[in-house]
Amino acid sequence: MIIEYWGRKPTQQQLSWVNPAYADPQVCHAARYTFDYQYDGCGNWPFNAAYAATYRDLQSLVTRLTSLTDVERLIHVGIPVITSQSFLKTELDGAGYGTAGHLMTVIGFTKDGDVIANDPNSPDNKAVRHVYKRRQFENIWLRTKRKNAEGKVVGATGGVCYLYFPAKPSPTQRRVLGGLGIR
């Protein structure tokens, strides 16, 4: 999603092995090139960031931010933020599900400060945009411990996110990134 936001995508030749009936063949391509055989899946954060950095003039990193205010600063200069969170179905109004771990892309904020996120856990591409209550979203994203569905205390991501942005950021983007300790 964010690789395409920056105008990059696999070539038709790179996608030639994917079933042409698939609506989003680039997802299959990304899965193939981010698969972690030790983990037995595609959830390895450094692998995903490394994959994004294979695209022309794009860099990526995994980092930790301290608040949605940090995210707002990045959004303001055109850098979407891919967040990682886990939550119970009752903890995020409007999501309609719970998860032990899930990525969403924060793309903006409402005038009231609520989070506008592209949530890939949606029935189709037209339905990915969601608005989540700021306090709920920030709480589930920033916490480091939580209770799962069985009531057991488990770890959480604590503000971890991916950033994909131009290899040569604009001066304004560079200033905001630097202010967040990203060089």
Would you list the domain boundaries of the chain? 2-179
- Write the CB contacts of 59 (distance below 8 Å, at least 6 apart in sequence): 53, 164, 165, 166, 167
- Write the CB contacts of 126 (distance below 8 Å, at least 6 apart in sequence): none
Query: How does pLDDT run across 17-61, given as a tens digit for each residue?
Result: 999 899 889 999 999 999 999 989 887 889 999 999 999 999 999
CA distance 17 to 12: 10
Predicted TM-score (pTM) of the model is: 0.90
Given a cut of 90, whether residue 157 has pLDDT beyond it is no
- Could you tell me which of 130, 41, 142 has the C-alpha nearest to residue 85? 142
CA distance 53 to 32: 15
Q: What is the pLDDT of residue 171?
A: 97
Q: Does CATH number 3.90.70.10 belong to domain 2-179?
A: yes
